[in-house]
Amino acid sequence: MIDLHTHSLLSDGVLLPSELARRAEEKGYIAMAITDHVDASNFDFVIPSIVRFCESIDTSMNIKVVPGCEITHVPPQDIKKLAVACRKCGAKIIVVHGETPVEPVKKGTNIAAIESDIDILAHPGLMTEEQAIIAAEKKIAIEITTRKGHSLGNGNVAKLWNKYKFPVVLNTDSHCPEDLVDINFAKTVLLGAGLEEKDTKIIFSTSYTIAKKFFPDL
């Protein structure tokens, strides 16, 4: 299992990065990204803290952890500039909090994210065909999520993926221990979104390919 979207208590999660990684390891994860929520007020504190944790992991752990962030509820016109700043701070995986149907995310966030230097658009809600085409061209990964509420848009992502073949990843958006899932539950979520068994292998492989960029020995 590889999960590229999780949260620690450096934003609104409940676990220290160390406990989050340990619990994920116990669940069978081989790699993960810690992507705490950031905006202009906190990115220069949160990202270096995650980087320091990732650098502290020793060989006693059988999990690889990538430092990242999730740009969240930032005005669409500011996403591109903040993404650049987050890269400079050490974020290797940049997620943008998409237009989920269960939060008042500003309209225009999805397209602004896809047009920026990011890696993953999370829970994009009713993503459009125009956005799907650009994501495919730029190879921006779109998230199918196991998280309650945000998962209401999974079927739309699956439908657009079948047509446009942009990269898709399965993430948990974990905030607490109960949010972490095993590979069987992850597969169930993908199948529930309308995908086929062969599709699940492609999607898990996409997450593996992304993680392997940072950990060639994975």
144 — phi, psi (to 5°)? -100, 130
CB-based contact 5:33 (threshold 8 Å): yes
pLDDT per position as a tens digit, 16-43? 999 999 999 999 999 999 999 999 999 9
- CATH number for the domain harbouring residue 111: 3.20.20.140
pLDDT at 60 over 90: no
Q: Which residues pair with 169 in a beta bridge?
A: 143
What mean pLDDT comes out for the span 95-112? Answer: 98
C-alpha to C-alpha distance for 140 and 98, rounded to whole angstroms: 13
> Which pLDDT score is estimated for 168?
98
165: left (phi over 0), alpha (psi -120 to 50) or beta: left
Computed over every residue of the chain, the mean pLDDT equals 97
pLDDT at 59 over 90: no
What total of structural domains would you count in the chain? 1
Percent share of the chain, pLDDT over 70: 100
Q: Residue 84 sits in which domain range? A: 2-214
